[in-house]
Amino acid sequence: MTTLERPQPLLSMAEKTAAIDAICARARILPVITIAREQDILPLADALAAGGIRTLEVTLRSEHGLKAIEVLRAERPELCVGAGTVLDGRMFAAVEAAGAQFVVTPGITPALLDAGVHSDIPLLPGISTPSEIMSGYALGYRRFKLFPAEISGGVAAIKAFAGPFSDIRFCPTGGVNSANARNYMALPNVMCVGGTWMLDSSWIKNGDWARIEASSAEAMALLENNG
C-alpha cells in the first residue's frame, strides 16, 4: 500500500502523545523482554504482573516476539502489551497485526516515523541526538526513547535536552538499572524508564518466577518512592 492509499489515522499526533503519556505514567518501568522459549511467555508475564509491572515491551529480538504479543493480547487482556526493537515498516505492520498497543524503536528512519504518523498505535521512537529529535519533532512527535541512554549522555544529556526541547519527554533505556533509575526518574522531562534488571536471563532459564516477581516488586517500590 502506498502512502497515498493509506487510510488516515483516527488519532492525531497530539492524541497519540497523550496515549504514550498515559502508558508511561501507569508503567514507570518498561521491561525490555526478549522471549527465548515460547513456554516462558505466560509465566514470565504473570511474574512481572504479580510484582506490579503490567505494561510490557516485548521485543522482536527473537523468533517468539510476535507470537508472544499475540498470546498476551489474547490470554492476558488486562496487561498493556507493546512491541520493541521494531526496525522497519514491515515489522511495524507485523506488530500492528499482532495487536501491539504501542511500538518502541531503537532508532529512527523516515519510513518508521511515517509508519507511526499513519497508524493509530502510538510510537515511541528511539533517538540519541538533537538532530534525531528534530526529525521526529517536525512530524509531530513529542515523546522519545533515549537509547542507549547511559552511553548517550545519560542524566546529563536529558537535562541538556530540556533547554531547546522544553515540550519533549523521554523514556531512557540502555544502561538503566536499580542503581541509577531514581536519578532518571527525578528529572521532570523523564516519564518512565526502560530496563532489564528485574529480568535476569538465568532466572528466566531456570523458571525462577518467584525471584522475578520479587525483583519486579522491588523495582516498582524503588520508583514509587522517588517522590
pLDDT in tens, 180-189: 999 999 999 9
pLDDT at 8: 77
pLDDT at 9: 80
pLDDT band for 163, please (50, 70, 90 cuts): very high
Q: Which residues are catalytic?
A: 57, 145
The closest alpha carbon to 59, from 18, 24, 95, belongs to 95
Please give the tally of structural domains in the chain: 1
- Whole-angstrom CA distances from 202 to 29, 131, 158, 199 are 21, 38, 32, 9
Specify the pTM: 0.94
CATH of the domain at 85: 3.20.20.70
Domain that holds residue 206: 3-224
pLDDT band for 5, please (50, 70, 90 cuts): low
Percentage with pLDDT > 90 across the chain: 93
CA–CA gap between residue 150 and residue 157 (Å, rounded): 9
In order, the DSSP letters of 124-182 are E-EE-SHHHHHHHHTTT--EEEETTTGGGTHHHHHHHHTTT-TT-EEEEBSS--TTTHH
In this prediction, residues 186-207 reach a mean pLDDT of 97
